[in-house]
Structure 1
Amino acid sequence: MERQELCFPQLLNSSCRRPVRPHSEVVFFYTLLSSIALLTVALNLLVVISISHFKQLHTPTNLLLLSLAISDLLVGLLVMPVESIRYIAMCWLLGQLMCALSYIGGFMLTSASVANMVLISVDRYVAICYPLHYSTKITKKRVKCSICLCWASSILYNGIILKGHLQQPNKHNSCYGECVVVIDYISGTVDLVFTFIGPCVLIVILYMRVFVVAVSQARAMQSNITTVLPGRVTAKKSERKAARTLGIVVMVFLMCFCPYYYPSLAGQDISNNTSSWAIVSWLLYFNSCLNPLIYALFYPWFRRAIKLIVTLRILEHGSCETKIF
């Protein structure tokens, strides 16, 4: 039998029990998960500083990346540390109200990330398929309004979905030291459609169209075609490269999010008290760390901005006017 101990020894009759893990295992997981959280915060903070500081990066597309980086930063700063304690300690030690707020915050940031991905896909679709109209249709003002709407909708939507959990945070807890949230089949289905299936179908359709148009434009350029039909203008090479990079971001996003929503797809109730919850949750959270790594690999401007930030040259007068690309 596995040796167990009480989460709250002073509450002998009502405290949850947890298995006792070897000290080496606890140290390993604390080190691993803390490193992932720190890396996520550091990388996304670099993205936020880069786009916020350098005026040349104040483009509609980069504003969307900034919004995504903020949600990823908050995941690393707020969600990952709490989930690390939950997974390693195997007892909830932060109180019932924090139990409710932790899940509302996590679900809100997840919804915001999905909405940001949809906005990024729309941005690339217009840039590649309608390059002549891009500057008039996708303006900074419209992007900022879309981002604000995205965050407001995420907060309101998840507040409604988890309203009952906020009112009775201990509803599904069987003992002290447990933090369980259960989303019933109906709410899970609604969440599945509005937070995953609908947005993902839209993202895939838009990027399939972007891919087809980008390939045809690349072939036309390789064939040295100089005459284009009226209304058909080839997008800039930089726009196609950005579409490719953001396509990778979207693909990685789908790979990380699909396992998380599998129980809903299978018609099961979602509970954080299952053994597989920690794995699929951390895979979803790890996506927040992967996004800035993709930028570092494929965006030269991001690497140059990191160099200026790390060497503290951004503290120099007029550094915000520096040419990044």
Structure 2
Amino acid sequence: MDHSPEDELQFSHQPPLQNDTDSDNKYVLSTEDWIAFVGLWLVTLFTIAGNTLVILSFIRDRNLRKKPSNLFLLGLAITDLITGLVSLPLDNMWRYKGEWPYGRSVCIFWTFLDYTVTIQSAYIISLISADRYFLVTKGLRYKVFQTHRRVLIQLIGTLSISFVFHLVAILWFEGTGKENVDFEEECELNALGALSYVIIAVIVEFILPLLIVCFFNLVIYLHILRRLQHPVNQNASDDVALMPSNRGLIGTPAKQTEKNVNQTITSEMATVEFDSSYKSSNCTTEENVKSYQIQPKHASSSANSGSPSNSTSKNQKSSVRKSRKKAATTLSILIVAFIVCWLPYNVVAIIRHISSDLVNVRTWDMVNYLLWFNSAVNPVLYATTNVHFRRNFSELLGKLCTPFKRILCMK
């Protein structure tokens, strides 16, 4: 995600350091480069801190490890942490020196690792969208469907696709003997010199994940909307009947079945806070599950004849509107953030082949940094929507700040 491959498309960094005098080795950084240099280090620190908190939370909290879906968040944090530890710092040092200082071998390893983890990050975002779709559509069956083993298979599968795709690109284009990159000056994949590779990469790395993210999040919103407008269309026991018998829900006493239903719904739907609107529907709260297991469907209509019930109905409608708005806002943010971070890079990558005059080094740097910035915001967009992760973040930051509080108190 860096700088161009072909001779006519070369965007090697312009040296940001300029001689202060001819008689010494003192250099000064231009104001623009200082802003970019410092800003990129701040983004790097934010990326490392946010994703480290996610990983530490997963390690310290057994409850987080119990839920298979949290493995997606762990995988996302690991890939984004590698971006913060490797991709951003090396690029910033390249910017500082004005030329690639580490040679051909380091460049090939760096670009391979960078492209692999960055694309894996996009794939995991797609998997998270699919997982949340299954969460809101499968109901009680979700816990049986999404297991630790299945999540690991999905993560390993997508990582293998990203790994093989970029490994083949490196072996194929580096093995041709045609060097499009001067590794003394810049660092980039030779493969980016081929328009065919760029088009395939855009499809595999951006268009497919984008379609998956948009489709599943749209279906999730429509499903939540339908649940809010028609709270309960079937008895909770219908969902129970769909559960495999080896889960111990079928053939159990009514009270035990009710308890299992309530516990499953509460635990599973609390996994994702963005789906609070789903939890607010009658089929997702413990009290309403109990009531719908006991009362006939027409009971609610007779209870709504009085004025207190009318007031309650208005409050429920207001709550539905708020929940619908919250769900739409949250899901829209996830989609927009993905598009904003990923679309510019892929568009510019193609434009460079159409006319290299349309893209200068500053533009290429900007779209690369925007792509990497996705790794910094992912913990905010995904992990912080989980109440358990948020609680761990608060506790970890509290412990981190304790020594500073003691020092201030001593003063």
1:156 aligns with 2:156: no
**Residue type of the partner of 2:185?**
G
1:259 aligns with 2:269: no
Instruction: Report the equivalent of 1:88.
Output: 96
1:284 deviates by 0.6
Task: Give the distance between the partners of 2:142 and 2:14, measured in 1 at CA.
Answer: 58
1:168 deviates by 7.2
1:104 aligns with 2:136: no
Matches within 5 A, 1:119-268: 119-167=127-175, 171-173=179-181, 176-182=184-190, 183=192, 184-221=194-231, 225=232, 227-228=234-235, 237-238=269-270, 241-243=273-275, 244=327, 248-263=333-348, 268=353
| Structure 1 residues 261 and 180: CA distance shift in structure 2, 3 A | same
1:18 deviates by 3.5
**1:18 touches 1:90 (CA, 8 Å); kept in 2?**
yes
Instruction: Report the equivalent of 2:246.
Output: none
Q: Counting helix residues as a fraction of each chain, which structure ranks higher?
A: 2
1:76 deviates by 0.3
**Residue type of the partner of 1:33?**
L
| Structure 1 residues 269 and 260: CA distance shift in structure 2, 3 A | same
Q: Structure 1, residues 83-108: CA drift from partner, whole Å, max 9, x if none?
A: 11223332111111112222111110
Give unmatched runs, 5+ long, in structure 2.
1-12, 19-27, 241-260, 276-326, 401-411
Matches within 5 A, 1:54-69: 54-58=61-65, 59-69=67-77
**Residue type of the partner of 1:304?**
R
Instruction: Report the equivalent of 2:25.
Output: none
Task: Give the distance between the partners of 1:201 and 1:17, measured in 2 at CA.
Answer: 37
| Structure 1 residues 230 and 256: CA distance shift in structure 2, 3 A | same
Of residues 295-304 and 61-70 in structure 1, the stretch that sits farther from structure 2 once superposed is 295-304
1:177 deviates by 2.1
1:274 deviates by 4.0
Instruction: Report the equivalent of 1:4.
Output: none
| Structure 1 residues 248 and 228: CA distance shift in structure 2, 3 A | farther
Of residues 162-171 and 283-292 in structure 1, the stretch that sits farther from structure 2 once superposed is 162-171
**Residue type of the partner of 1:241?**
E
**Residue type of the partner of 2:62?**
K
Instruction: Report the equivalent of 2:372.
Output: 285
Instruction: Report the equivalent of 1:43.
Output: 50
| Structure 1 residues 167 and 81: CA distance shift in structure 2, 3 A | farther
**Residue type of the partner of 2:94?**
R
**2:273 touches 2:386 (CA, 8 Å); kept in 1?**
no
Task: Give the distance between the partners of 2:348 and 2:338, measured in 1 at CA.
Answer: 18
Aligned residue pair count = 296
Secondary structure of the corresponding residue to residue 161 of structure 2: helix
**1:256 touches 1:287 (CA, 8 Å); kept in 2?**
yes
1:152 deviates by 2.3
Task: Give the distance between the partners of 2:49 and 2:82, measured in 1 at CA.
Answer: 11
Of residues 104-113 and 157-166 in structure 1, the stretch that sits farther from structure 2 once superposed is 157-166
| Structure 1 residues 133 and 169: CA distance shift in structure 2, 3 A | farther
Instruction: Report the equivalent of 1:323.
Output: none
Task: Give the distance between the partners of 1:60 and 1:285, measured in 2 at CA.
Answer: 27
**1:180 touches 1:273 (CA, 8 Å); kept in 2?**
no
Give unmatched runs, 5+ long, in structure 1.
1-15, 314-325
Secondary structure of the corresponding residue to residue 88 of structure 1: helix
**Residue type of the partner of 1:253?**
F
How big is the alpha-carbon RMSD for the aligned residues of Structure 1 and Structure 2? 3.3
| Structure 1 residues 41 and 203: CA distance shift in structure 2, 3 A | same
Task: Give the distance between the partners of 2:134 and 2:201, measured in 1 at CA.
Answer: 28
Q: TM-score, normalised by structure 2?
A: 0.63
| Structure 1 residues 175 and 292: CA distance shift in structure 2, 3 A | closer
Task: Give the distance between the partners of 1:138 and 1:175, measured in 2 at CA.
Answer: 46
Q: Give the share of equivalent positions with the same residue, in percent.
A: 24
| Structure 1 residues 170 and 308: CA distance shift in structure 2, 3 A | farther
**1:96 touches 1:169 (CA, 8 Å); kept in 2?**
no
1:176 deviates by 3.2
| Structure 1 residues 24 and 51: CA distance shift in structure 2, 3 A | same
**1:47 touches 1:66 (CA, 8 Å); kept in 2?**
yes
Higher-Rg structure is 2
Task: Give the distance between the partners of 1:135 and 1:161, measured in 2 at CA.
Answer: 39
